[in-house]
């Protein structure tokens, strides 16, 4: 199965206050987020992580990934992923049963007949918007309205990673108005 998530901010104390998260401290938050991830993601699943995984370095990231299920994890870097965007090796870092790979900042994924535009940041326009492409993002911590055809997958919207199968029920469809096709 394929899942999408973002913005765990593991080891980031200030995010508890900034995103109004219901945790007493970093350890409570980190433990709850690992439990939520592993509750839905199995050892054979693929996860697309849309940025802001943790505060720390590649060594701390590797320790955190080792607690998480998933055969493959693809990281679309966010603004707090200096451990990955500053050249830290990611290939070879493993989740509990698989590998973690650095992805591009913007990726168009085609799977099961769906085209999905992945980016850490919310886009007002994206490739294929008028042809039914879905846009998934993080970054805003549920602080802005979601545009039709898009969905924020941060843990502040969905505590557990969102499955590909659930997208059709979660996303308000986009119906083009008078604009022409792309």
Look at the chain and count its residues. Answer: 182
Residue 179 resides in a domain: no
What is the C-alpha to C-alpha distance for residues 36 and 32, in angstroms, rounded to an integer? 6
Residue 98 resides in a domain: yes
What is the C-alpha to C-alpha distance for residues 115 and 132, in angstroms, rounded to an integer? 8
Whichever domain contains 131, its CATH number is: 3.60.21.10
Residue 177 resides in a domain: no
Q: What residues make up the domain containing 7?
A: 2-170
Residue 181 resides in a domain: no
Pick from 49, 19, 75: nearest CA to 161: 49
pTM: 0.88
pLDDT value of position 154:
96
Residue with token string 């697309």:
48
Residue 176 resides in a domain: no
Q: How many CA atoms lie within 13 A of 112 on its CB side?
A: 9
Residue 19 resides in a domain: yes
Residue 178 resides in a domain: no
Across 2-6, 74-78, 92-96, least confident range: 92-96
Tens-place pLDDT, residues 79-138: 887 767 555 445 555 555 567 777 788 999 999 888 999 999 999 999 999 888 999 999
Residue 175 resides in a domain: no
Q: Write down the mean pLDDT value for the chain.
A: 86
How many domains would you assign to the chain?
Answer: 1
pLDDT value of position 176:
54
């Amino acid at each position: 199965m394929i899942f999408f998530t973002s913005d765990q901010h593991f080891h980031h104390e200030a995010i508890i206050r900034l995103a109004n998260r219901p945790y007493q401290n970093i350890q409570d938050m980190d433990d709850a987020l690992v439990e939520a991830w592993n509750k839905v993601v199995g050892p054979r699943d693929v996860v697309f992580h849309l940025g802001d995984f943790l505060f720390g370095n590649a060594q701390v990231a590797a320790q955190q990934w080792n607690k998480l299920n998933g055969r493959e994890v693809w990281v679309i870097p966010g603004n707090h992923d200096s451990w990955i965007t500053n050249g830290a090796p990611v290939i070879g870092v493993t989740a509990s049963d698989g590998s973690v790979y650095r992805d591009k900042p913007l990726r168009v994924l085609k799977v099961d007949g769906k085209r999905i535009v992945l980016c850490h940041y919310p886009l007002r326009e994206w490739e294929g918007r008028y042809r039914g492409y879905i846009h998934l993002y993080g970054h805003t911590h549920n602080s802005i309205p979601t545009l039709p055809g898009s969905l924020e997958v941060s843990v502040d919207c969905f505590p557990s990673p969102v499955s590909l199968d659930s997208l059709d029920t979660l996303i308000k469809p986009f119906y083009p108005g008078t604009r022409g096709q792309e």
